[in-house]
Structure 1
């Protein structure tokens, strides 16, 4: 009985140690910033959110982020915000946008520095996922990383319908900027 108890304790300790080491490799980020801009002939729409969350798994070269659509603020007016978030992005039906992919380049995650990177994966907005290659800058420090990127999102690619009456007020492509810092093994 004592021998079985010792084996059980050893197995539990070994499992916890292995799980802890597996978690340490992950880089987690919360409170990242996402900015969107629609520059159309008759109207400029700008908004941002500080609720971007993400993760990097250096071992598998995986990278992902997600953001709640209703977290965007800073529109020119309340009615502009309502139209953009509720009528076009349909935030109640599609509450978040996500990207899940892998870095194309081999990145020396154990070497501090700044690297130009590309991540290939699926960007899902408005319930429609499209394969994208997102280019950005990855800055690595001891136990942390930061990704900054800029890309365009064609609204038609994600089934976002802009009525003809407001086509001069919303751009066909939305500028997106992402800036998120990651910490090793835990969210910030």
Structure 2
């Protein structure tokens, strides 16, 4: 398991059960007056420590695919998100509600933490749907990100093609893992 996940979640290095994924999906949509841009990554990593109610998720910026053109993807990585300088977006923090992870069912939860995009940290509370089954913790969330909150500048020449507010959707199935983290 990646060291950054342990660090982000603030977990002690000891044997314990966590829920983990390295194949979560995160998608975004920019619905501007002149263009709809959608992309997704299936390389989101994440973990939830049920004992502490803490979590950490991260996605490499350069893994997003599905843009309208290769040039658009290049501009996304080089000009807007600057993925060489800021290689990951992360969200880490604590689940506000007390959750019994041993109890099957679906529940609404709120995750309070630090969302870091483009090197800029923002404290956020993001609502999510958490579904527990015998061996899977499934999460789904949808939220908005304002480009200005993360100092992402859009040139005037493409202002009508890129929305100022981006919709982000997250889906992941996390499986229990026991071990030294």
Q: 1:44 aligns with which of 33, 36, 46?
A: 36
Q: Deviations over 1:79-116 (max 9, x none)?
A: 11111221000011100000001000011111010010
Residue in structure 2 matching 1:110, options 102, 109, 119:
102
The structure where helix makes up a greater share of residues is: 1
TM-score, normalization by structure 1: 0.86
Pick aligned residue for 2:144 from 149, 152, 157: 152
> How far did residue 57 of structure 1 move?
0.4
* Matching residue of 2:116: 124
Answering whether residue 177 of structure 2 is matched by residue 182 of structure 1, we say no
Supply the RMSD in Å over aligned alpha carbons. 1.3
How big is each residue's C-alpha offset from its partner over 1:108-157, in whole Å with a ceiling of 9 and x where there is no partner? 11101001010000000000010000101000111320110000000000
Question: What corresponds to 1:35 in structure 2?
Answer: 27
Partner of 2:125: 133
* Structure 1: stretches of 5+ with no match in the other structure: 1-18
Q: After TM superposition, what 4+ stretches of structure 1 lie above 6 angstroms from structure 2?
A: none
CA distance in 2, matches of 1:113, 1:148: 14
Question: In structure 2, the residue corresponding to 1:185 is in which secondary structure?
Answer: strand
- Higher fraction of strand: 2
Max Rg structure:
1
Matched, 1:92 2:84: yes
In terms of mean alpha carbon deviation, does 141-150 or 47-56 score higher? 141-150
Alpha-carbon distance in structure 2 between the residues aligned to 1:50 and 1:120: 23
Q: Return the alpha-carbon distance in structure 2 between the equivalents of residues 85 and 37 of structure 1.
A: 15
Which sections of structure 2, spanning at least 5 residues, go unmatched? Answer: 1-13
